[in-house]
Amino acid sequence: MLAKRDERLCQDHPQGRKRSHFFKSFFMTKLLDDGSSGNYKYANVKRWSKNVPGKDIFALSKIFFPVNIMNQHWTCAAIFMEDKRIQFFDSMHGTGIRYLKGLFQYLKDEHQAKKGCPLPDQEQWKLVCCTDDTPVQNNGNDCGVFTCMFADFLSTDCPLTFSQKHIHQCRERIALSIMNGSAII
């Protein structure tokens, strides 16, 4: 649904907006081989980029990754390509450093595999752990809603202005998006 909205926004603004991509939650599980060794494995996901808009992740604006931590908690990681920043968004404020490092290695491996050379300006990339201003959940069951809202807001460059007190409205927004078949603008 977020991808459909992103496509529509890019069509409406063809000169001023680059596409984003929203990987499925299984991407991170495969990348970090969570079902088996727990080690980073580019080979598990090397073909996944063929499904991104334009088939080139380096031409995108943002890339979003839902992250399932030990089948108990949902978070969101995002790569902001133009800013050279990889950031972790966790409603329980975990650092996410393992995921940030894994995604940075993925970018390096993907560039080498698809472009035939090392990722340029590697030293300029920033890995940003969850920041203090990231919205926080006040219970043990709303992490999925927060994860959806992180991707929803960030994909349209909106500040993360929601909180636990907005959770009912967030759930309604998600339900309306499902009923409409596309995320609400």
The residues that are catalytic are 73, 90, 143
* Separation CA 137–CA 163 (nearest Å): 7
* Separation CA 26–CA 33 (nearest Å): 10
**Torsion sign, CA atoms 50, 51, 55, 59:** negative
What helix, strand, coil percent values describe the chain, rounded to 5?
A: 45, 15, 40
Buried b (16+ CB within 10 A) or exposed e, 114-148: eeeeebeeeeebebbebeeebbebeeeebbbbbbb
* Cβ–Cβ under 8 Å, residues 5 and 182: yes
**Straight-line distance from the first to the last Cα atom of the chain, in angstroms, rounded to the nearest whole number:** 11
* Cβ–Cβ under 8 Å, residues 59 and 18: yes
* Cβ–Cβ under 8 Å, residues 142 and 101: no
